[in-house]
Amino acid sequence: MKYLFAVNPVSGKNKAKVKMNQLAVLLREHKINFIVYETQPYHYANDLRSVINEHNITHVFAVGGDGTAHEVLNAVIGLDVYFGIVPFGSGNDFARVLRLPKNIDKVFDMIKKNKHVVIDVGKVKDRYFLNYISLGLDVEILKQSLKYKRFLHSGFAYVIAVVTALITYKCQSYKINDETKQLYLTTVHNGKFYGGGMKINPFAEINDGILDLCTVKKMNRFKLLCLFPSVFSGKHFKFKKLVAFQSKRYFLIETNEGKVPVGIDGELYEFDTPIEIEIASECVKMIRY
Protein backbone atom coordinates (compact mmCIF):
# COMPACT_ATOMS: atom_id res chain seq x y z
CA MET A 1 0.00 0.00 0.00
CA LYS A 2 1.14 3.53 -0.76
CA TYR A 3 -0.51 6.66 0.59
CA LEU A 4 -0.77 10.19 -0.77
CA PHE A 5 -1.78 13.16 1.39
CA ALA A 6 -3.02 16.14 -0.64
CA VAL A 7 -2.44 19.04 1.76
CA ASN A 8 -3.98 22.47 1.40
CA PRO A 9 -1.35 24.64 3.12
CA VAL A 10 -3.72 27.55 3.78
CA SER A 11 -6.63 25.45 5.07
CA GLY A 12 -7.75 25.82 8.67
CA LYS A 13 -6.26 29.31 8.85
CA ASN A 14 -2.87 28.04 7.63
CA LYS A 15 -2.69 25.27 10.24
CA ALA A 16 -3.31 22.23 8.01
CA LYS A 17 0.31 22.02 6.87
CA VAL A 18 1.59 22.21 10.46
CA LYS A 19 -0.79 19.45 11.57
CA MET A 20 0.20 17.33 8.56
CA ASN A 21 3.84 17.59 9.64
CA GLN A 22 2.84 16.25 13.06
CA LEU A 23 0.87 13.41 11.46
CA ALA A 24 3.85 12.62 9.22
CA VAL A 25 5.97 11.90 12.30
CA LEU A 26 3.57 9.10 13.30
CA LEU A 27 3.42 7.76 9.75
CA ARG A 28 7.21 7.51 9.55
CA GLU A 29 7.49 5.94 13.00
CA HIS A 30 5.17 3.14 11.83
CA LYS A 31 6.97 2.83 8.49
CA ILE A 32 3.92 3.74 6.40
CA ASN A 33 4.87 4.42 2.79
CA PHE A 34 3.52 7.85 1.81
CA ILE A 35 4.11 11.03 -0.14
CA VAL A 36 2.79 14.55 0.40
CA TYR A 37 1.26 16.59 -2.42
CA GLU A 38 0.80 20.30 -1.74
CA THR A 39 -2.37 21.57 -3.40
CA GLN A 40 -2.56 24.58 -5.68
CA PRO A 41 -4.82 27.64 -5.36
CA TYR A 42 -6.96 26.64 -8.35
CA HIS A 43 -8.19 23.46 -10.04
CA TYR A 44 -5.45 20.85 -9.77
CA ALA A 45 -7.44 17.58 -10.08
CA ASN A 46 -5.82 16.56 -13.39
CA ASP A 47 -2.31 17.17 -12.09
CA LEU A 48 -3.03 15.25 -8.87
CA ARG A 49 -4.54 12.39 -10.87
CA SER A 50 -1.29 12.10 -12.84
CA VAL A 51 0.75 11.96 -9.63
CA ILE A 52 -1.53 9.24 -8.22
CA ASN A 53 -1.07 7.10 -11.32
CA GLU A 54 2.66 7.77 -11.61
CA HIS A 55 3.36 6.67 -8.02
CA ASN A 56 0.91 3.74 -7.93
CA ILE A 57 -0.99 5.27 -5.01
CA THR A 58 -3.57 3.07 -3.29
CA HIS A 59 -4.92 5.52 -0.67
CA VAL A 60 -5.53 9.25 -1.23
CA PHE A 61 -6.34 11.62 1.64
CA ALA A 62 -7.56 15.20 1.27
CA VAL A 63 -5.98 17.19 4.09
CA GLY A 64 -7.98 20.37 4.61
CA GLY A 65 -11.62 21.40 4.42
CA ASP A 66 -14.58 20.78 2.14
CA GLY A 67 -13.06 22.59 -0.83
CA THR A 68 -9.94 20.44 -0.67
CA ALA A 69 -12.01 17.26 -0.40
CA HIS A 70 -14.05 18.39 -3.41
CA GLU A 71 -11.03 18.88 -5.65
CA VAL A 72 -9.33 15.67 -4.55
CA LEU A 73 -12.58 13.77 -5.22
CA ASN A 74 -12.40 14.98 -8.82
CA ALA A 75 -8.85 13.63 -9.01
CA VAL A 76 -9.67 10.13 -7.72
CA ILE A 77 -13.07 9.57 -9.32
CA GLY A 78 -12.93 6.49 -11.53
CA LEU A 79 -9.60 5.30 -10.07
CA ASP A 80 -9.30 2.11 -8.04
CA VAL A 81 -8.12 3.84 -4.87
CA TYR A 82 -9.39 4.44 -1.36
CA PHE A 83 -10.33 8.05 -0.62
CA GLY A 84 -10.17 9.67 2.80
CA ILE A 85 -10.50 13.07 4.43
CA VAL A 86 -8.26 14.45 7.16
CA PRO A 87 -10.45 17.33 8.42
CA PHE A 88 -7.88 19.99 9.18
CA GLY A 89 -9.99 22.71 7.52
CA SER A 90 -12.56 25.17 8.87
CA GLY A 91 -16.02 23.95 7.83
CA ASN A 92 -15.47 20.17 7.47
CA ASP A 93 -19.13 19.53 6.70
CA PHE A 94 -18.69 16.27 4.82
CA ALA A 95 -16.27 15.03 7.48
CA ARG A 96 -19.07 15.78 9.96
CA VAL A 97 -21.37 13.42 8.03
CA LEU A 98 -18.79 10.63 8.44
CA ARG A 99 -17.96 11.67 12.03
CA LEU A 100 -14.28 11.83 11.18
CA PRO A 101 -11.81 12.78 13.93
CA LYS A 102 -9.70 15.95 14.01
CA ASN A 103 -7.32 14.77 16.73
CA ILE A 104 -4.01 13.71 15.18
CA ASP A 105 -3.72 10.46 17.14
CA LYS A 106 -7.26 9.48 16.17
CA VAL A 107 -6.63 10.44 12.54
CA PHE A 108 -3.62 8.13 12.55
CA ASP A 109 -5.75 5.40 14.10
CA MET A 110 -8.30 5.87 11.28
CA ILE A 111 -5.57 5.56 8.66
CA LYS A 112 -4.08 2.47 10.29
CA LYS A 113 -7.43 0.63 10.66
CA ASN A 114 -8.26 1.24 6.98
CA LYS A 115 -12.02 0.75 7.34
CA HIS A 116 -14.17 2.01 4.49
CA VAL A 117 -17.71 2.46 3.19
CA VAL A 118 -18.77 2.72 -0.46
CA ILE A 119 -20.60 6.00 -1.05
CA ASP A 120 -22.50 7.89 -3.74
CA VAL A 121 -21.46 11.28 -5.08
CA GLY A 122 -23.27 13.86 -7.18
CA LYS A 123 -22.37 15.01 -10.67
CA VAL A 124 -23.02 18.35 -12.37
CA LYS A 125 -21.55 19.19 -15.80
CA ASP A 126 -18.04 17.67 -15.65
CA ARG A 127 -17.66 18.07 -11.88
CA TYR A 128 -18.38 15.61 -9.08
CA PHE A 129 -19.39 16.68 -5.61
CA LEU A 130 -19.32 14.96 -2.24
CA ASN A 131 -21.79 17.08 -0.37
CA TYR A 132 -23.98 19.58 -2.24
CA ILE A 133 -24.69 22.03 -5.03
CA SER A 134 -26.73 25.17 -4.31
CA LEU A 135 -28.25 28.14 -6.10
CA GLY A 136 -29.82 31.40 -4.97
CA LEU A 137 -29.48 33.03 -1.58
CA ASP A 138 -26.98 30.41 -0.49
CA VAL A 139 -24.51 31.43 -3.20
CA GLU A 140 -24.69 35.04 -2.08
CA ILE A 141 -24.14 33.83 1.49
CA LEU A 142 -21.17 31.75 0.31
CA LYS A 143 -19.60 34.79 -1.34
CA GLN A 144 -19.99 36.79 1.85
CA SER A 145 -18.82 33.96 4.13
CA LEU A 146 -15.61 33.42 2.13
CA LYS A 147 -14.86 37.07 2.78
CA TYR A 148 -15.60 36.86 6.52
CA LYS A 149 -13.74 33.55 7.01
CA ARG A 150 -10.50 35.45 6.67
CA PHE A 151 -10.90 36.73 10.22
CA LEU A 152 -13.82 34.79 11.78
CA HIS A 153 -14.57 31.15 12.69
CA SER A 154 -16.30 29.32 9.82
CA GLY A 155 -19.66 28.83 11.56
CA PHE A 156 -19.87 32.41 12.86
CA ALA A 157 -18.76 33.79 9.50
CA TYR A 158 -21.65 31.93 7.89
CA VAL A 159 -24.19 33.41 10.32
CA ILE A 160 -22.94 36.96 9.68
CA ALA A 161 -23.03 36.28 5.93
CA VAL A 162 -26.68 35.17 6.18
CA VAL A 163 -27.72 38.42 7.87
CA THR A 164 -25.78 40.49 5.33
CA ALA A 165 -27.24 38.64 2.33
CA LEU A 166 -30.80 38.94 3.64
CA ILE A 167 -30.60 42.71 3.38
CA THR A 168 -30.04 42.78 -0.38
CA TYR A 169 -30.94 39.40 -1.93
CA LYS A 170 -34.08 39.14 -4.07
CA CYS A 171 -36.07 35.97 -4.73
CA GLN A 172 -35.38 34.19 -8.04
CA SER A 173 -37.46 32.09 -10.43
CA TYR A 174 -36.31 28.49 -10.95
CA LYS A 175 -37.74 25.73 -13.10
CA ILE A 176 -36.93 22.41 -11.43
CA ASN A 177 -37.93 19.26 -13.32
CA ASP A 178 -40.58 21.24 -15.28
CA GLU A 179 -42.05 22.97 -12.18
CA THR A 180 -41.49 26.74 -11.92
CA LYS A 181 -41.22 28.37 -8.47
CA GLN A 182 -40.14 31.60 -6.84
CA LEU A 183 -37.41 30.55 -4.42
CA TYR A 184 -34.91 32.02 -2.03
CA LEU A 185 -32.83 28.88 -1.90
CA THR A 186 -32.35 25.73 -3.97
CA THR A 187 -29.88 23.12 -2.78
CA VAL A 188 -29.30 19.51 -3.83
CA HIS A 189 -27.53 17.37 -1.25
CA ASN A 190 -25.72 14.09 -0.91
CA GLY A 191 -24.71 14.81 2.71
CA LYS A 192 -26.72 16.41 5.50
CA PHE A 193 -24.64 19.45 6.44
CA TYR A 194 -23.24 22.65 5.03
CA GLY A 195 -22.24 26.14 6.15
CA GLY A 196 -20.11 24.95 9.07
CA GLY A 197 -22.65 22.60 10.66
CA MET A 198 -26.09 23.57 9.38
CA LYS A 199 -28.25 20.45 9.03
CA ILE A 200 -29.85 21.74 5.86
CA ASN A 201 -31.00 18.36 4.54
CA PRO A 202 -31.67 16.03 7.49
CA PHE A 203 -33.02 13.27 5.21
CA ALA A 204 -29.92 12.93 3.02
CA GLU A 205 -27.80 9.76 3.13
CA ILE A 206 -24.48 9.22 1.36
CA ASN A 207 -25.23 5.69 0.11
CA ASP A 208 -28.96 5.55 -0.64
CA GLY A 209 -28.70 6.00 -4.42
CA ILE A 210 -30.58 9.33 -4.49
CA LEU A 211 -29.98 13.07 -4.10
CA ASP A 212 -32.09 15.28 -1.85
CA LEU A 213 -33.49 18.64 -2.90
CA CYS A 214 -34.34 21.34 -0.36
CA THR A 215 -36.09 24.52 -1.50
CA VAL A 216 -37.05 27.59 0.52
CA LYS A 217 -40.05 29.47 -0.88
CA LYS A 218 -40.59 33.18 -1.22
CA MET A 219 -41.48 34.89 2.09
CA ASN A 220 -40.87 38.19 3.83
CA ARG A 221 -37.36 38.75 5.14
CA PHE A 222 -38.38 38.80 8.79
CA LYS A 223 -40.00 35.38 8.50
CA LEU A 224 -36.93 34.05 6.69
CA LEU A 225 -34.67 35.38 9.43
CA CYS A 226 -36.85 33.71 12.08
CA LEU A 227 -36.73 30.42 10.14
CA PHE A 228 -32.95 30.46 9.86
CA PRO A 229 -31.96 29.22 13.38
CA SER A 230 -33.96 26.00 12.91
CA VAL A 231 -31.59 24.99 10.09
CA PHE A 232 -28.81 24.24 12.60
CA SER A 233 -30.83 21.42 14.18
CA GLY A 234 -32.56 20.33 10.98
CA LYS A 235 -35.97 21.26 12.40
CA HIS A 236 -36.84 23.56 9.48
CA PHE A 237 -38.57 20.58 7.82
CA LYS A 238 -41.51 21.30 10.15
CA PHE A 239 -42.29 24.54 8.25
CA LYS A 240 -44.00 22.68 5.42
CA LYS A 241 -45.55 25.77 3.83
CA LEU A 242 -42.14 27.40 3.47
CA VAL A 243 -39.65 24.57 3.04
CA ALA A 244 -40.00 21.60 0.69
CA PHE A 245 -37.97 18.42 0.23
CA GLN A 246 -37.74 16.01 -2.68
CA SER A 247 -35.58 12.96 -3.36
CA LYS A 248 -34.60 11.87 -6.88
CA ARG A 249 -31.70 10.48 -8.89
CA TYR A 250 -31.80 13.43 -11.30
CA PHE A 251 -32.69 17.14 -11.21
CA LEU A 252 -32.84 19.60 -14.11
CA ILE A 253 -32.70 23.24 -13.01
CA GLU A 254 -33.37 26.12 -15.40
CA THR A 255 -33.32 29.88 -14.88
CA ASN A 256 -33.86 32.96 -17.01
CA GLU A 257 -30.16 33.78 -16.81
CA GLY A 258 -27.57 32.62 -19.35
CA LYS A 259 -24.98 31.85 -16.69
CA VAL A 260 -25.73 31.07 -13.07
CA PRO A 261 -23.39 31.24 -10.05
CA VAL A 262 -23.54 28.08 -7.95
CA GLY A 263 -21.90 26.78 -4.80
CA ILE A 264 -20.44 23.27 -4.84
CA ASP A 265 -18.91 21.83 -1.65
CA GLY A 266 -18.07 25.34 -0.47
CA GLU A 267 -16.52 26.42 -3.80
CA LEU A 268 -17.93 28.98 -6.23
CA TYR A 269 -18.64 28.09 -9.86
CA GLU A 270 -20.57 29.59 -12.78
CA PHE A 271 -22.50 27.33 -15.15
CA ASP A 272 -24.59 27.73 -18.27
CA THR A 273 -28.24 26.76 -17.85
CA PRO A 274 -29.94 24.35 -17.83
CA ILE A 275 -28.02 22.60 -15.04
CA GLU A 276 -28.27 18.81 -14.94
CA ILE A 277 -27.55 17.21 -11.56
CA GLU A 278 -27.40 13.45 -11.17
CA ILE A 279 -26.32 10.76 -8.74
CA ALA A 280 -23.25 8.63 -9.33
CA SER A 281 -24.06 5.61 -7.18
CA GLU A 282 -21.55 3.57 -5.16
CA CYS A 283 -18.48 4.94 -6.93
CA VAL A 284 -16.11 5.93 -4.12
CA LYS A 285 -14.43 3.75 -1.48
CA MET A 286 -14.45 6.19 1.43
CA ILE A 287 -12.22 5.73 4.48
CA ARG A 288 -14.24 6.00 7.69
CA TYR A 289 -13.39 6.07 11.39
Statement to judge: residues 91 and 147 lie in one domain: no
202-210: average pLDDT: 95
Same domain? For 76 and 153 the reply is no
Residues 169 and 102 reside in one and the same domain: no
Would you say residue 34 lies in a domain?
yes
Say whether both 160 and 109 belong to one domain: no
Does some domain include residue 175? yes
**pLDDT band, very low/low/confident/very high, at 255 (cuts 50, 70, 90):** very high
Q: Which of 114, 146, 163 is the last residue of a domain?
A: 114
Q: Do 169 and 68 share a domain, yes or no?
A: no
Q: Tell me, yes or no, whether 127 lies in a domain.
A: no
Would the pLDDT of 286 be above 90? yes
Which one of 114, 147, 164 terminates a domain? 114
Does residue 162 have a pLDDT over 80? no
Residue 122 in any domain: the answer is: no
Kindly report, residue by residue over 25-60, the tens digit of the pLDDT: 999 999 999 999 999 988 999 999 999 999 999 999
Q: Is the pLDDT of residue 154 over 70?
A: no
Regarding whether 218 and 91 lie in a shared domain, the answer is: no
Are 141 and 68 found together in one domain?
no
Residue 224 lies in a domain: yes
Q: State residue 127's pLDDT score.
A: 96
pLDDT at 232 over 70: yes
123 lies in some domain: no
Q: Say how far apart CA 200 and CA 234 lie, in whole Å.
A: 6
**What confidence category does residue 148 fall into, taking pLDDT thresholds of 50, 70 and 90?**
confident
Q: What is the residue range of 28's domain?
A: 3-114
Band (pLDDT 50/70/90 cuts) for residue 134 is very high
Instruction: Say how many domains are in the chain.
Output: 2
Query: Is the same domain home to 109 and 45?
Result: yes
Q: Residue 49 is part of a domain; what is its CATH number?
A: 3.40.50.10330
Which of 88, 114, 140 corresponds to the end of one domain?
114
Is 166 found in the same domain as 26? Answer: no
pTM score of the predicted model = 0.92
pLDDT confidence of residue 226: 84
Name the band, by pLDDT with cuts 50, 70 and 90, for residue 156. Answer: confident
Give yes or no: residues 194 and 107 share one domain.
no
